[in-house]
Structure 1
Amino acid sequence: MMVFLKLAIKSLKNRAFATTLTVISIALSVALLLTVERAKRAAEEGFTQTISKTDLIVGARSGPLQLILYTVFNMGNATHNISYETYEKVKAHPAIEWTIPYSLGDGHRGFRVVGTTQDFFKHYHYRGDQQVKFAQGKEFADIWDVVVGADVARKLKYSLGDRIVVAHGVTKGEGILQHDDRPFVISGILEPTGTPLDRAVYMSLQGMEALHVDWQDGAAPAMDKVIPREQLTNELKVHTITAFFVGAKSRIETLKLQREINTYEGEPLLAIIPGATLSELWNGLSYVEGVLRMISWMVVAVGFMAMLIALTTTLNERRREMAILRAVGAKSNQILGLLVFESALLTAVGVALGLVTSWGLIAVLKPWIETEFGLYLVGPWVTRYELMYLIITLVGGTLIGLIPALRAQKLALKDGLSVRI
């Protein structure tokens, strides 16, 4: 074994340039494969753990996917709202420990505005035990206070005390109609979470109600019928909400509670278990995962082809070397084994370098990726799936070496000590 290793190292050193290029191509292929796998795992983890420790999400009767999209991801709109009276009745159920009312409203420069209560900051969890925390400031206390997510503050360069104007309609731009007669003041800025929480503006339910308290049938009031901002307080009555989150006193009671809410006679409601619905939604997007993995394996295949070309094109240069080995007593099978060993060595070095490169990139780019894309690269450095990919790569690279090795074996049997040119 040591003789094989010494011969292989000397032979590879003699072809240092081609060897280096081959190792780099394999390393880049492996690094890309591992990085894509890590990003896929982070995306899945972030997607399915966007909300946790919430037993049920309740909204107007529609579909589970639609309900999860407009409550957890703030995407789309509800077909109907829920009366606040119904919410209060369901909230009083003896099996319910806590609730978070959630009311989708207008927008602010492309970001969604959400009406809720201070229970949102107490009970909303994501990625297991992670709780909503403040980077600066505090919860809204006054009807004209708002709390902004990390992305909102960063992209719009907001700080505590800044005044913002909510616009009627959720758009990419400035909105359909500015509520500039009722500005809000930023009382708090949330820490980054890597979830849709970062891309929303939060206010009290009364603040949400105040925006349209004097509107009639969806139309803005005439100038003489506008209620002055100073007359609107926290005592304003809330009429409807979009949905609400539920924490049950016992997980065992969740299914029974879900069934009772779904058959509630006072108003058509839909209660879903968020974890199950999120998993179902992610499985529906599994084709993206398959495409990413296929691209990664295609890159690995290109790396193998580069190694095959490098080994094959150097065979003519090595015919004299093979003939000398035969002359000193080396068997044709030993020459075959030497070349296969070289390809295995190249693959092993490439895999190790690719692994280190992937780890290095993740360590360096992790803060930027978390801030820009909301992908939290957590978990073990190498999973069993990634280990399986590395083993497949090692075996594949070794088998690729058989092709030039078999050809070299045949040439070594024909050639003498001198090579004819």
Structure 2
Amino acid sequence: MNEPLLRVRGLRREFPAGEQILVVLDGVDLDIHAGELVAIVGQSGSGKSTLMNILGCLDRPSAGSYEVQGQPTGQMGPDALAELRLEHFGFIFQRYHLLNDLSAVGNVEVPAIYAGMPASVRHERTTALLARLGLGERMHHRPGELSGGQQQRVSIARALMNGGAVIFADEPTGALDTHSGKEVMKILGELHAEGHTVVLVTHDMAVAGHAQRIIEIRDGRIVSDQPTATASAPLDAPAPALQAPAEGGGLQALRDRFIEAFRMALRAMNPHRTRTFLTMLGIIIGIASVVSVVALGTGARQVILHNIASLGTNTIEIYPGAGFGDLRAAQVETLTPGDSVALAGQPYVDSAKPSVATTATAMRGNRTASTQVQGVSEQYFRVRGLELGQGSFFGHAAVDGYQQVAVIDANTRAPVRHARRSGRADTAAGQRPGARGRGHPQGCRCAG
């Protein structure tokens, strides 16, 4: 006897139902040989549709084993199971499950598109299948324009598109009238005669009578497995296998898949233009909102970091005396400009500057302002991170030469620029204001 095409051993399928476990299939053993027409019958809830889903690799058993041509499906991943369904299985459903936006030709071509079949071969095979099933004049009609029997024939053509060596039919006549149901069963009988293995799930014994074997399931167990009186061949008779057309390969196949995917997307969007527009608008608004929030957050972060840096968080100030506010600090002379040079030479120090400070009165003409004057080196501006609005910083030569050069801030700028009102100057840079501290007034040049 030939090895079975489909073999099931100790199959069990259970589902959680609240705190209980619902056992749908329990200890099922079954062999189906190539070329058989098998009917699985039983009442609603008996487990026959669950068994067909497992045989078609649409579901996995909770326990037990299932082999296809000797290959255990329990060891196959989702991609391998999908490839098995694509190349060897065809499905016929009670409610057809056709895509309403596609014509009969478009629905039949869907499996071939996923298989990467070349477009020319795909179109030729689709036309031949529909013509054979009596839909030659209706192949460009959509499901809504076809009768129930015609829709079921479209689903049969779809099941055969990639070869359909094994056809699973779940209540194929359940939604049809008597005449259409007989036509569908006649087609299934012809496919069986050509060598297709057909697994038929039904609760109608008249439909099951067309099969070679009738397997009855009750409460998740096989209670009967008998040949019918109309069986025309032994169960182990060899049956020819229908070969699927060869797939396209290389860049051309990839190009065809991309084009077909793009066409399918357009066809899916075209009947629902308003919904598509609103969906795209929502996506655009969402992306724009995310980008805006990220941009605002990044900008705010940069501003905060800049403000923190301006506070001198990476700057250490060293004062003489025992502590901050020591009244004797002015008399302490342990800190010298040489200490600043020594600190600047350390590898972890970017720059260092010595400074002394006092208060003075800035004068320009008849205008005065109380100011704080600091004596600093040329490194002061880098240490403080200062930028000039006008003029320039003084350099090392000005410090070594003890030149009377000043850089003023905006508050001190007003009395220095008083001459602007008389039209003699437009900037503070280059002016020569004076300063009076503890002694005689001293003139200086404003560099910036």
Could you tell me the TM-score, scaled by structure 2's length?
Answer: 0.21
More strand, by proportion = 2
Could you tell me the TM-score, scaled by structure 1's length?
Answer: 0.23
More helix, by proportion = 1
Whichever of the two has the greater Rg, that structure is 2
